[in-house]
A and B are shown apart, each in its own frame.
Chain A
Amino acid sequence: MKKFACAGALLAALTATPVLADTVKIGYMTTLSGGAGITGTQMKQAVELAMEHKAGKLGGMDADVIFVDDQRKPDVAKQLANRLLKRDRVDIVAGVIWSNLLMAIHKPVTRSGKLLISSNAGPSTIAGKNCHKNFFSLSWQNDQTPEAMGKHMQDAGIKSVYLMAPNYQAGKDMLTGFKRYYSGEVVAEVYTKLGQTDFQAELSALRAAQPETTMVFQPGGMGINFVKQWKQAGMDSVSKLYSVFTVDAVTLPALQDSGLGILGTQTWSADIDNPVNKKFVADYKAKYGSYPSFYAAQAYDTILAIDYAIGKAGSKDADKVGGLIL
């Protein structure tokens, strides 16, 4: 929510900024092709919308955004980052959906003395003692969203939970985060295969265990499969389903009514009641014909935060802008 405080404050900042003749260049990296292309396209659209709202100026400076497609490949991401830094001479590299891609470009960008601003990825490995002064994430750290769910379920007095996540780093981060704030009984902690399509076997086992609640992390296509099969197997009568990153703007078009009644935590939702968000959602819908996802909101935030920080600093110098981003 801090982001929105920033975003609100920018209105004041904008009117006060002196007009500078300099141009700020932003390299925006996201995934525009392949299976995750829809997510990246939404982010690109949100950035374009933000630039439109700012009339092409960030913090009073003329701004130029260069979009690059990382193809969800770490090696491509690294090449692109180098190209952005050396050929295009950008001042800021932003975007990045995937944690493994962010890890690949983290060193090259921060070492060059430029700013790296993540619109989504937040691996815990570059937080804490490995935190770099030029890196900022406008989303979260992987385990924070399930932490909120853990807290909610703890406060709601839920006695027992059955946990399920794909068997990879983010899956483990998510359940670790959840357990940090939930101290009730964990009936079972099931790790499914990454990219699994059929969960019927796991659902049968879950039915036999009869847990009071179930909390899952099954992002993207896995989420569509899981929720569909959950409903089809009539699991709602067995256990109450909670989820993180499972029922969202990416999976809902395929899930439709199947998503009803599944509680999830998220840092952002389309109906957050503040003027900046209302304007973003309304204009995004009007321009692109669909609701923005949280990825889009974070991309929009990224531009607003850059705008605010440059305006406040009165310069695009990384050391001056950096401290004002969050």
Chain B
Amino acid sequence: MTITLILEQIFNGLQAGVTLFLVAAGLTLILGVMNFVFLAHGAQVMIGAYAAAAITNATGHFYIGILLAIPLTFISGYLLEYLVIRHLYRRDHMEQVLATFGLILFFNEAIRIGFGPAALFSDLPPSLSGFVEILPGVPYPAFRLWVIVVGLCCALAIGLFVSRTRTGAMLRAGAENPEMAAALGVNIKRLFRLIFAAGATFAGIAGMMLGPLTAVQPGMGEPLLILSLVVIIIGGIGSVRGAFIAAIIVGLVDTVGRVFLPSLLRLFFDQATADGAGPALASMLVYILMAVILIFRPTGLFPAKGRE
């Protein structure tokens, strides 16, 4: 276990973390500001990945794929809110769970009908398929570095938007006290639609970043949804800053724990026990972390002010 390996794993954790943040950022606002239980956020990831991969395959240019896919995911989020979601705001949470669970099934099946059940081909753009030496003798895939940079830029943009703009102030007000914000004349309908479409876009961007790394197939976003719910709970519902910090923590704990826990256990137990318990414990690690944080901070690390 050398220092270079640890550094490499920190980069891996960071990359997982920023991807997670892109998914969680929209979801935390949908849950926190709109008080809406939305389970189909993973489908937005899938839509982003499919849009980018299909356009990239058709045009042969990765960047054209991304540039065209971003507005597409925004439009799909906007339409979804307009056609389905806005009719569900007044329903109780159980009905929202049922309806949005139905949306997961709908989107997975729609993609299957449109693109077939097999995974779609998607590969790295040639310009990003090389390596960057993060330290002498430690090559790191350029595309993953690019994912980290894009993720951090998105995080910065979301952060500035929420903290510096008028709409951002409305968002924060909505997260802290939705009734009061509405009473003060914030156009809640428009605000909700914007949050929803923006959330879909960032989840879509996460999908576009994941496309070249993982299998682009129906249901690809669901594993991310569960982790991003963990992120939201740790970070505090409705808090973008909380989501960012929690996403990085979860990404690092998941990645570093997965790799180092089995070898750590081997110091205390025999090989067979360590090999058996290590992976099992590592996959529980983020949930244990969530439980511990909830014991000390029941509303998460950075709850929106009205929810403390």
Within 8 A of A (CB), among B95-131: 112, 116-124, 129, 131
Contact B121 A256 (CB under 8 A): yes
Report A33-46 CB contacts with B as 1/0, cut-off 8 Å: 01101100100000
A208 to B144 Cα, complex, angstroms? 18
Which of A189, A204, A234 has the most chain B CB atoms closer than 10 A to its own CB? A204
Q: Check B214 against A38 for contact (C-beta < 8 Å).
A: no
Q: Are A254 and B141 in contact (CB under 8 A)?
A: no
Say which size band chain A's interface belongs to: 35 or more
- Does A50 count as interface, using CB distance less than 8 angstroms? no
Determine the chain B residues whose CB is within 8 A of the CB of A251 once the complex forms. Answer: 119
Report yes or no: A228 in contact with B213, Cβ–Cβ below 8 A. Answer: yes
Q: How far is the CA of A254 from the CA of B214 in the complex (A)?
A: 10
* Contact digits for A191-205, partner B, Cβ 8 Å, 1 yes 0 no: 111010110111011
Q: What distance in Å separates the Cβ of A220 from its nearest Cβ neighbour in chain B?
A: 8
Closest chain-B Cβ to A259's Cβ sits at a distance in Å of 11
- Which residues of the partner chain B approach A207 to less than 8 Å between Cβ atoms? 8
Would you give the shortest CB distance from B108 to chain A, in whole angstroms? 9
Cβ A198 vs Cβ B214 within 8 A: yes
Q: Does chain A have a CB within 8 A of B283? A: yes
Give the complex CA separation of A104 and B258 in angstroms: 33
B120 touches A254 (CB 8 A): yes
Q: How far is the CA of A197 from the CA of B224 in the complex (A)?
A: 10
Closest to A191 in B: B279
| B213 A225 Cβ-Cβ under 8 A | yes
B55 beta carbon closer than 8 Å to chain A: no
The yes or no answer to B143 lying at the interface (CB within 8 A) is yes
Known A35-B117, A191-B275, A208-B5; judge A221-B213 contact (CB<8 A): no
Q: Is B262 in contact with chain A by the CB < 8 A criterion?
A: yes
Is A190's beta carbon under 8 Å from chain B? yes
> Are A254 and B279 closer than 8 Å at their CB atoms?
no
The reply to whether A225 and B259 form a contact with Cβ atoms under 8 Å apart is no
Contact of A190 among B12, B13, B143, B262 (CB under 8 A): B262
Is there a chain B Cβ closer than 8 Å to A229's Cβ?
Answer: yes
Contact A204/B9 with A197-B215, A232-B141 known, Cβ cut-off 8 Å: yes
A224 to B214, CA, bound (A): 7
Assembled-state Cα–Cα distance A208/B282 (Å): 20
Q: How far in angstroms is the closest Cβ of chain A from B263?
A: 9
Kindly supply a per-residue 1/0 record for chain A positions 164-202, scoring 1 wherever the CB is within 8 Å of any chain B CB and 0 otherwise. 000100000000000000000000011111010110111
Q: B219 near A: Cβ within 8 Å?
A: yes
A253 part of interface (Cβ distance < 8 Å): yes
Docked pose: A195 CA to B279 CA in angstroms: 13
Q: B223 — which chain A residues lie within 8 A by C-beta?
A: 195, 197
B16, CB-defined interface residue at 8 Å: yes
Known: A189-B275, A232-B124, A232-B143. A197 touches B214 (CB 8 A): yes
29 A–B contact pairs at CB < 8 A?
A34-B117, A35-B218, A37-B112, A38-B117, A38-B118, A41-B117, A193-B279, A193-B282, A193-B283, A197-B210, A197-B214, A197-B220, A198-B214, A200-B141, A200-B255, A201-B12, A201-B255, A202-B259, A204-B8, A208-B1, A208-B5, A221-B119, A228-B213, A232-B143, A232-B212, A254-B119, A254-B120, A254-B215, A256-B123
> Told that A228-B123, A251-B119 touch, could you supply 10 new A-B pairs with CB distance under 8 A?
A41-B117, A197-B210, A200-B213, A202-B259, A204-B8, A204-B12, A224-B214, A224-B215, A229-B214, A255-B121
